[in-house]
């Protein structure tokens, strides 16, 4: 047997992989060299998938991957491959699904899978401790037993692998004859959310609780005020809970309890973009100043901590600092009293729950909204917040994953642009435009989109989500402030999406491009996860662009996607929020309003028209050259408005009040 390679992660760009570059484990990246070595030596692969902000990934690394004795066992028995799930969501999606099939349990991170040399998994789990505990085996001993099974029971493993591959292939939806679309899946999804709703604390189900922003967006669009109220209650409870950073702004990934009180402290870009947009919509619908404050603080956090000088948005903040989860965020009562005046301290204690028993590990306090606040107390509380924030800034900060991911940037661009529209905040729009310009400048090369960049180096072919989310972001960005280059980019992206991802035989979109690396499975899913389903967002965005430009190819691709997933929507629509939004707009096309005229006259029109969810508004000032023919209008010294619904367009109007009555 030839000697294995040394640890090769030092040449990677992923901060997560670089965290493991000094491990005694001979980690390899997922590449042709590593896979060829496994096949040449007929050795199983130990695949470890995680991400830089993951608490239990750090725990397993400290316990096992940094331990020389455990590393020696791993190096002797396996080709060890480390994967950043954020850079390779294709691998994560495949092996999370395989884990669920093999173990009949949901997965998570770190994901620990043992693969045959051809990449097919035959055993797996998530976190394993160094020594046996929590009902889990010790990791080194487990490695020995897995390697022994691979050596002695190869025939059984190959039989199982064949069955697993067939089962994976069966997850790709097949074409079925379907009739006309109707609203039944929408109604059934509403009732499923009603049944799962927690009327006391908001959200759906029990602990742990995740935000589910796609479901909240679905509810906020419902005509039934009771359904909209479910979303508003959830957003209110989250905004008042510890999942929201009461001191510095921004949402954590999830709450470990049903009350949204104690979070898993990592902050992810992909959550905060949609939640920023939802906070803006919640304020627009309710007028509650809580949502306006949360939107402003979240946007400020993004601009302060998550946007690079070159425009791209960073990926995440770690849950841990100084080796402890949440240490950066929690408080000592004595520390609070020393930092604040007696009046500030008393108010902060009442407002944020510092006057009750410690709520984090029985010894620290994590801020939540625990008491009412009178209007005259707001300045004093803000003074206290600023002092606590300044003190917290002096602590050792959680690590920041500073790679730029196209798909997550798209979610934040869309959220920032939408909030900019709702609140009229030019600096938020400028932030979104700078991020989009970075993506176009750095990640778009020869009409091919790249997935990730760090320190000026962009690489990895982009996935369905990158293209679909970015197309949706461009449509939102153009409504906040039209730029012709954004429209051109949107058309190029839509054409690339069809050319490289569409299943031309049965419809829908594969997660990977047609010329992507061959893996053991090629997913095509419509189910939302932590982020929306690429198929759902692609269908939504293509429909909107198709209606805007009168482009039948885009509308047809969206309809074929809905037809492919229609049987699933009819059987069990829960979890298909993004496809349900596409279905809703297929049944009732969005209202499209085109404004044309002097730029300085359109601000009031845009403000009065607002940001209704079923409406697409483009304000095209005089002087824009090379517009598509369907959008081109003659120059005018006053604003003209064209309103279209589906294939029906009304005569143009120059009267804003008349337009408001029309819509």
Query: 250 and 302 in contact (C-beta within 8 Å)?
Result: yes
**Residue 449 in domain:** yes
Nearest to 601 by CA among 577, 575, 620: 620
Strands 591-597 and 457-461, bridge-based pairing: unpaired
Q: Please indicate, yes or no, whether residues 309 and 425 belong to a single structural domain of this protein.
A: yes
Q: Structural domain of residue 342, as residue ranges?
A: 329-394
Q: Please indicate, yes or no, whether residues 102 and 18 belong to a single structural domain of this protein.
A: yes
Q: Please indicate, yes or no, whether residues 100 and 211 belong to a single structural domain of this protein.
A: no
Indicate the range of 18-22, 175-179, 592-596, 613-617 predicted with least confidence: 175-179
Element containing residue 485 per DSSP (H, E)? helix 484-501
Instruction: Provide mean pLDDT across the span 235-259.
Output: 98
Q: What is the pLDDT of residue 633?
A: 87
Q: Please indicate, yes or no, whether residues 407 and 479 belong to a single structural domain of this protein.
A: yes
Instruction: Provide mean pLDDT across the span 540-565.
Output: 97
Residue 638 in tokens: 């006053």
Question: Residue 110 CB: number of other CB atoms within 10 A?
Answer: 24
Q: Please indicate, yes or no, whether residues 165 and 33 belong to a single structural domain of this protein.
A: yes
Q: Cβ contacts of residue 287 below 8 Å, gap of 6+?
A: none
Residue 88 in tokens: 């390779």
Distance between CA 145 and CA 137 in Å, rounded?
11
pLDDT at 294 over 70: yes
Query: 224 and 211 in contact (C-beta within 8 Å)?
Result: no
Distance between CA 346 and CA 297 in Å, rounded?
23
**Residue 1 in domain:** no
Q: What are phi and psi of 472, to 5 degrees?
A: -65, -40
Q: What is the pLDDT of residue 39?
A: 97
Q: Please indicate, yes or no, whether residues 388 and 490 belong to a single structural domain of this protein.
A: no
Decide: residue 390, CB within 10 A, 0-12 exposed, 13-18 middle, 19+ buried.
Answer: exposed
pLDDT at 520 over 70: yes
Nearest to 570 by CA among 585, 559, 580: 580
CATH number of the domain where residue 530 is located: 1.50.10.10
Give the pLDDT confidence of 48-85 residue by residue, as tens digits.
Answer: 999 999 999 999 999 999 999 999 999 999 999 999 99
Q: Please indicate, yes or no, whether residues 427 and 520 belong to a single structural domain of this protein.
A: yes
Instruction: Provide mean pLDDT across the span 342-360.
Output: 97
pLDDT at 3 over 70: no
Number of folded domains that form the chain: 4
Q: Please indicate, yes or no, whether residues 27 and 107 belong to a single structural domain of this protein.
A: yes
Give the pLDDT confidence of 160-206 residue by residue, as tens digits.
Answer: 999 999 999 999 999 888 899 999 999 999 999 999 999 999 999 99
Residue 287 in tokens: 């007028």
Boundary residue ending a domain (587, 609, 635)? 587
Distance between CA 55 and CA 607 in Å, rounded?
44
Give the pLDDT confidence of 466-493 residue by residue, as tens digits.
Answer: 999 999 999 999 999 999 999 999 999 9
Boundary residue ending a domain (552, 587, 622)? 587
Question: Residue 233 CB: number of other CB atoms within 10 A?
Answer: 17
Q: What is the pLDDT of residue 257?
A: 97
CATH number of the domain where residue 60 is located: 3.40.30.10
Q: Which residue has the higher pLDDT, 618 or 625?
A: 618
Query: Residue 308 half-sphere exposure, CB side, CA atoms within 13 Å?
Result: 23
Distance between CA 197 and CA 193 in Å, rounded?
6
Q: Please indicate, yes or no, whether residues 544 and 623 belong to a single structural domain of this protein.
A: no
Instruction: Report the percent of the chain where pLDDT is more than 90.
Output: 96
Residue 365 DSSP code: B
Q: Please indicate, yes or no, whether residues 127 and 230 belong to a single structural domain of this protein.
A: no
**Residue 382 in domain:** yes
**Residue 174 in domain:** no
**Residue 78 in domain:** yes
**Residue 178 in domain:** no
Q: Please indicate, yes or no, whether residues 193 and 287 belong to a single structural domain of this protein.
A: yes
Order the strands of the 591-597 sheet from edge to edge.
615-621, 591-597, 640-645, 648-649
Q: Please indicate, yes or no, whether residues 358 and 310 belong to a single structural domain of this protein.
A: no
pLDDT at 2 over 80: no
Nearest to 641 by CA among 601, 590, 589, 597: 597
Boundary residue ending a domain (541, 556, 587)? 587
**Residue 175 in domain:** no
């Amino acid at each position: 047997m030839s000697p294995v390679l040394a640890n090769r992660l030092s040449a990677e760009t992923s901060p997560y992989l670089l965290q493991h570059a000094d491990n005694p484990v001979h980690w390899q990246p997922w590449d042709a060299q590593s896979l060829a070595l496994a096949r040449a030596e007929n050795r199983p692969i130990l695949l470890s998938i995680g991400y830089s902000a993951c608490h239990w990934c750090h725990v397993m690394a400290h316990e096992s991957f940094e331990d020389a004795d455990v590393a020696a066992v791993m190096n002797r028995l396996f080709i060890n491959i480390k994967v950043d799930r954020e850079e390779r969501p294709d691998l994560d999606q495949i092996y999370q699904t395989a884990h669920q099939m093999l173990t009949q349990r949901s997965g998570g991170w770190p994901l620990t899978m043992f693969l045959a040399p051809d990449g097919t998994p035959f055993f797996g789990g998530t976190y394993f401790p160094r020594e046996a505990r929590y009902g889990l085996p010790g990791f080194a001993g487990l490695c020995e037993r897995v390697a022994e099974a691979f050596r002695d029971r190869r025939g059984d493993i190959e039989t199982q692998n064949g069955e697993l591959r067939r089962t994976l292939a069966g997850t790709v939806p097949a074409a079925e004859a379907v009739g006309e679309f109707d609203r039944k899946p929408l109604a059934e999804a509403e009732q499923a959310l009603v049944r799962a709703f927690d009327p006391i604390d908001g959200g759906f189900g029990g602990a742990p609780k995740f935000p589910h922003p796609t479901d909240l967006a679905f509810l906020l669009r419902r005509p039934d005020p009771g359904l909209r109220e479910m979303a508003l209650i959830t957003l209110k409870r989250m905004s008042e809970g510890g999942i929201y950073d009461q001191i510095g702004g921004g949402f954590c990934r999830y709450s470990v309890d049903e009350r949204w009180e104690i979070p898993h402290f990592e902050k992810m870009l992909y959550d905060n973009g949609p939640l920023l947009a939802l906070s803006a919509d919640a304020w627009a619908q309710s007028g509650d100043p809580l949502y306006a404050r949360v939107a402003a603080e979240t946007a400020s956090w993004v601009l302060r901590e998550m946007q690079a000088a070159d425009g791209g948005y960073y990926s995440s903040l770690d849950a841990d600092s100084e080796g402890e989860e949440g240490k950066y965020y929690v408080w000592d009562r004595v520390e609070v009293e020393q930092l604040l005046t007696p009046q500030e301290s008393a108010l902060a204690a009442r407002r944020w729950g510092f006057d009750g028993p410690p709520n984090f590990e029985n010894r620290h306090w994590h801020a939540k909204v625990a008491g009412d606040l009178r209007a005259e107390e707001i300045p004093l509380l803000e003074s206290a917040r600023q002092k606590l924030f300044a003190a917290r800034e002096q602590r050792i900060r959680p690590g920041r994953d500073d790679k730029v991911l196209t798909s997550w940037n798209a979610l934040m661009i869309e959220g920032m642009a939408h909030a900019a529209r709702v609140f009229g905040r030019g600096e938020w729009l400028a932030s979104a435009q700078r991020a989009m310009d970075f993506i176009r400048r750095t990640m778009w090369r020869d009409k091919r989109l790249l997935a990730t960049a760090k320190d000026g180096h962009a690489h990895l072919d982009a996935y369905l989500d990158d293209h679909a989310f970015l197309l949706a972001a461009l449509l939102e960005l153009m409504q906040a402030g039209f730029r012709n280059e954004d429209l051109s980019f949107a058309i190029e992206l839509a054409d690339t999406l069809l050319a490289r991802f569409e299943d031309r035989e049965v419809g829908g979109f594969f997660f990977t491009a047609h010329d992507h690396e061959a893996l053991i499975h090629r997913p095509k899913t419509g189910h939302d996860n932590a982020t929306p389903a690429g198929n759902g967002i692609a269908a939504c965005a293509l429909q909107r662009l198709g209606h805007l430009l009168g482009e039948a190819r885009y509308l047809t691709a969206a309809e074929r996607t809905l037809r492919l997933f229609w049987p699933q929507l009819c059987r069990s629509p829960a979890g298909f929020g993004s496809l349900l939004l596409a279905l809703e707009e297929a049944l009732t096309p969005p209202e499209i309003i085109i404004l044309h005229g002097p730029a300085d006259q359109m601000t009031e029109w845009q403000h009065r028209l607002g940001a209704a969810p079923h409406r697409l508004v483009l304000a095209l000032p005089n002087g824009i050259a090379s517009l598509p023919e369907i959008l081109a209008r003659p120059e005018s010294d006053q604003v003209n408005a064209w309103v279209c619904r589906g294939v029906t367009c009304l005569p143009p109007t120059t009267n804003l009040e008349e337009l408001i009555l029309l819509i």
